[in-house]
Amino acid sequence: MRGRWWSLLLTAVIVFLLAYVGLTYLDRGNEPTISYTEFSRQVDAGNVDKIYSKGDAIQGELKDARDNPEGDGDYTKFKTQRPAFADDDLWQKLNSRDVTVTAQPVVKERGLLSNLLISLAPIVIIVAVWIFVARRFGAGKGGAGGMFGRKAPPKPVELRPGTQRTTFADVAGIDEVKGELDDVVDFLEHPDAYRRMGAKMPRGVLLAGSPGTGKTLLARAVAGEAGVPFFSASASEFIEMIVGVGASRVRELFAEARKVAPSIIFIDEIDTIGRVRSGGASVSGHDEREQTLNQILTEMDGFSGSEGVIVIAATNRADILDPALTRPGRFDRVVNVSPPDRGGREAILKIHTRDIPLAEDVDLTQLARTTPGMTGADLANLANEGALLAVKRGQEQVTASDLSEALEKVQLGAERTLVMPEEDRRRTAYHESGHALLGMLQPGADPVRKITIVPRGRALGVTMSTPEVERYAHSEEYLRGRIIGALGGMAAEQVVYGVVTTGAENDLEQVTNIARGMVARWGMSERVGRLSALPSDAQQAYGLAAAPQTLDVIDAEMRRIVDECYEEACSKLRDHHRQLEALAEALLENETLEEADAYRIAGITRLTKEADA
């Protein structure tokens, strides 16, 4: 910043000097210079009105304009130089012809003060424009220096009046993560006990997990439990177009945190600046990012261990972070924040519905079972959508129907007022019935929860299936069952109509991903073998992770598995054609079938498997 102020000052001085020189020496007026002979001729003719003389220099003004013999156009005011050898009794001539000899110059020039004030005008304009642009770039964060990254010193996050600190009581579903962070809270509350034992708290804690799992909430809860100042920043705030600004902001942030230690610094989305550094030359944007990362590493190394400042960072891309960031002495504790299990989802739902009046028919345990894979943010959104529906319907309480419809809206999208031709509606009914019937018939498949032919989002119809218990490892039989169920819609159209439509696009995407994983990643193909031919990170660059011959084998095995599953799907639907017809007719009549009704109409008894089994 000091160098930039000096450059601005130097620019202002240069502009001032140029303006002053131009005004003082170049703007002398536009009166022409005539010869002394011409001047004597006009005096003899009695055409000179007044003159002013300073030494041998003469300024004057004529009574009547005359042609300039040494220039273009007429002139009235003039200037000339009297030769030193002239002996022409000039004073007598002037006096005899009533020429006024004045004490003031005929053509007045601006004085020093006037030139000074006028010279400062460009400087004032430049400074005014600079301040205006700086404030616009600074967006109110640091005034005129905002465009150069100069912001107000960071301050701890303050609570709004009437609000309470976030504590671990507001966090549920991730008890194992809270256990990891309890050590941080205890250290902040009782640092002397750790020092006496010679123990050092980790300087940094990295929270890694999917979006919406509660990483930011956990960091706030740690600060709330310990009752210490909490500094929050996003990694993108450090990056500016001017190299070096990010590093200076990091220094300011850590300096302010040390002043009020013990304290917590939370950096969100640290992968923005913490990516693996390149070894070659980089453009300025990368230079700024790497300088910012280097400054963070330096600040964390500079901790003495007794300052009581702990850095908590969050990312959903821990795999791309620079190794220097996660080594011992920096972020030496990495905590994985995973989506909650069934019990965790139930606890999260209780927290997000504690201020929502629930009807007696609401069963949060059952709702938790039907929401596998949803994060804390998803569940919070689900509870809020249910409350919004209850308000729209003028209810005093949120019912199970509200939450069920909110779940459909969150997972599938809002209902569309789409008028379909009867033929398309009937085809959609058979399509969804095929999905549902194969899901009911396939051993070990996820239970069918709901079937609908009401258009939602991009889909014309939906069959919802969720597992009865949490699954953390999938067998080959289960994965084949999922492929068969996904192909059920296309198979039903083939069995009933003899043709297929574009309605199976999303189904085919799911089938392709599952088959590719089975063959190339999970070792479920004898020809490919027990190896990971296409790691998950290389799927986007398909074809770069394996030899061309291996890719040909992978394609052939994928086609074999999908073809076998499709033949099995068509065979089962032909064998249970009456049940398929019954489900389709019920869908055409009711548009939506709940779990119990669907199994009853299909004539299939579902074996209930308790989650605790």
**One of 240, 432, 493, 557 is an active-site residue; which one?**
432
Q: What is the CA radius of gyration of the chain?
A: 42
Q: How far is CA 248 from CA 234, 245, 284, 287, 325, in A?
A: 15, 5, 16, 14, 19
601 CA to centre of own chain: 49
SS3 531: coil
Burial class (CB in 10 A: 0-12, 13-18, 19+), 139: exposed
* Length, in residues, of the chain: 613
534: which residues sit within 8 A by CB, 6+ positions away? 516, 520, 521, 542, 545, 546, 554
- Residue that the structure tokens 């938790």 belong to: 368
319 CA to centre of own chain: 19
- Residue that the structure tokens 């220039």 belong to: 71
Decide: 550 and 533 in contact? Cβ < 8 Å: yes
Question: In what helix (H) or strand (E) does residue 525 lie, and over which residues does it extend?
Answer: none
Cα separation, 450 vs 459, in Å, equals 15
Question: In what helix (H) or strand (E) does residue 505 lie, and over which residues does it extend?
Answer: helix 505-520
Peptide bond into 262 cis (omega under 30): yes
Check if 432 is active-site: yes
Closest CA to 66 of 80, 56, 77, 76: 76
137: which residues sit within 8 A by CB, 6+ positions away? 146, 147
Cα separation, 336 vs 323, in Å, equals 17
Cα separation, 347 vs 383, in Å, equals 13
Q: Which residues pair with 247 in a beta bridge?
A: none
Please state, as a whole number, how many other Cβ atoms lie within 10 Å of the Cβ of residue 106.
Answer: 18
Closest CA to 274 of 231, 326, 328: 326
Residue 58 DSSP one-character state: E
Closest CA to 575 of 482, 478, 492, 489: 492
Cα separation, 280 vs 286, in Å, equals 11
154: which residues sit within 8 A by CB, 6+ positions away? 231, 233, 249, 252, 253, 256
Residue 540 phi/psi, 5° resolution?
Answer: -70, -30
Residue 77 phi/psi, 5° resolution?
Answer: -90, 145
Please state, as a whole number, how many other Cβ atoms lie within 10 Å of the Cβ of residue 375.
Answer: 22
301: which residues sit within 8 A by CB, 6+ positions away? 329, 330
Q: How far is CA 587 from CA 266, 438, 493, 499, in A?
A: 52, 16, 15, 21
Cα separation, 383 vs 350, in Å, equals 10
Decide: 71 and 32 in contact? Cβ < 8 Å: yes
19 CA to centre of own chain: 47
Give catalytic residues, as residue numbers: 432
